[in-house]
Amino acid sequence: MTFTHLDADQRPTMVDVGGKVATQRRATAEARVQFPAAVAAALRDNGLRSPKGPVFDTAIVAGVLGAKRTHELIPFCHPLGIESCRIVIDLEGDAAVIRCSVSVHHKTGVEMEALTGASIAALTVYDMCKGLSHDIVIGGVRLLSKDGGKSAYGVVP
């Protein structure tokens, strides 16, 4: 097995993408926030607001900020000038389903940005609702799709 993020001395290093061709790259990730039934009902009854304010709107802003700062959080991620980051949150039954889609024209992909955006949005939903219950579960964080690099994954929207 060859490790891509180790140098000749077996020390951690960032991958050199200097020789790669810049292409349009997209990725979409998802996270789920499972609420107790009473919390989901309270959100529906209060226009998706908790005592802290507009839950999903706040989470969307936080998720976009997280996606843009992924390189500051994940050690070997390259800083990218993200061209688009769209977060959609739907209340499906007793769960918030968060989808984060990111695109960039660059030499490296945006999977980690999409995953980070979805994750930070999920954490924000938890924070906005924890006054209603601590029995909230974040899970199901996964990559749904990616394209534009040497390999594609999933169904690109």
Catalytic residue numbers read 127
**Closest alpha carbon to 115 in 87, 93, 143:** 143
Task: Determine the residue type at 99.
Answer: R
| Contact by Cβ (8 Å): 5, 12 | yes
* DSSP characters over 40-51: HHHHHHTTSEET
Report phi then psi at 14, rounded to 5. Answer: -80, 140
Q: How many other CB atoms sit within 10 Å of the CB of residue 126?
A: 18
* DSSP characters over 125-143: HHHHHTTT-S--EEEEEEE
Provide the 3-class DSSP secondary structure of residue 22: coil
**Closest alpha carbon to 127 in 75, 80, 61:** 61
